[in-house]
Amino acid sequence: MIRNLLLISNSTNAGEDYLAWPRTYIQDFLTEFRVRKVLFIPYAGVNLSPVSIEKSFDLYEERVKKVFKELGFALDSIHRSPNPVVAVNEAEAIVVGGGNTFHLVSLMHESGVMDAIRRKVFQGIPYLGWSAGANVACPSMKTTNDMPICEPPSFNCLNMVPFQINPHYLDANPAGHAGETREQRIEEFLTVNRDVTVVGLREGCLLKVRGDVMNLVGNRPLRVFRFGMDAVEYYPEENPGFLLV
């Protein structure tokens, strides 16, 4: 199966510059495919400006474009295109930023780019996304951490990997917090979706997928959840490629 993916849990570690920790991986990934310009999907960035969502998209584009320019890549944002599907069809690579997954998925469906991106990726163009951008690579968005600020036409997503990612996966509850842990939330999901595998992808980690080969990159293990089974940890030196089967 043709697919070239870089699925990043988070854009920024605490105390670091924006997109600091994954920069080398992003640069190497895009350079490998001789990408010169990427198409950026800013639809998850809803609150960068109090003026309007459109202005938030402008600011998001500006922030990400600065980083990609430093890495040697040009960037166009899809929100400036009069025809988003055409923009996807003409793209060398797709980059999907994090933010609110509900808003991202809603606009991806409404603009028609959900299906267009999937077609292009399975034709071979590279795809990278962080946080919400990693979540939408999955069959659905149901393992997002985000508030439902809008109602997408469907929860179905790109289905480029056969498992669900829970980005920013946390092990513990904050002191004094009486609500559910992240693991309990995932167990709720599995009770209803019993044939689905969920990957808890901790911050500072990413999944690199080339065809039917997948590697975990980072200094922390991922956590694999299946219904009726104890969660299992897999470290970067262990091959998590079985998750693609």
Catalytic residue (one of 9, 111, 131, 140): 131
Write down the residue that tokens 């199966």 correspond to.
1
CA atoms of 34 and 71, how far apart (whole Å): 13
The verdict on whether 56 is a catalytic residue reads no
- CB-based contacts of 229, cutoff 8 Å, min separation 6: none
Beta pairing class for 37-41 and 74-77:
parallel
The verdict on whether 58 is a catalytic residue reads no
Run of H or E residues at 4: strand 4-8
The verdict on whether 17 is a catalytic residue reads no
Catalytic residue (one of 146, 154, 177, 212): 146
Give the distance between the most distant pair of CA atoms in the chain.
51
Catalytic residue (one of 76, 168, 177, 230): 168
Closest to 210 (Cα-Cα) out of 119, 134, 127, 139: 127
The beta strands (E) that lie in 88-240 are given as: 94-96, 127-130, 164-167, 198-201, 205-210, 213-218, 222-225, 232-234
The answer to whether 166 touches 200, Cβ cutoff 8 Å, is yes
| Residues carrying an active site annotation | 131, 146, 168
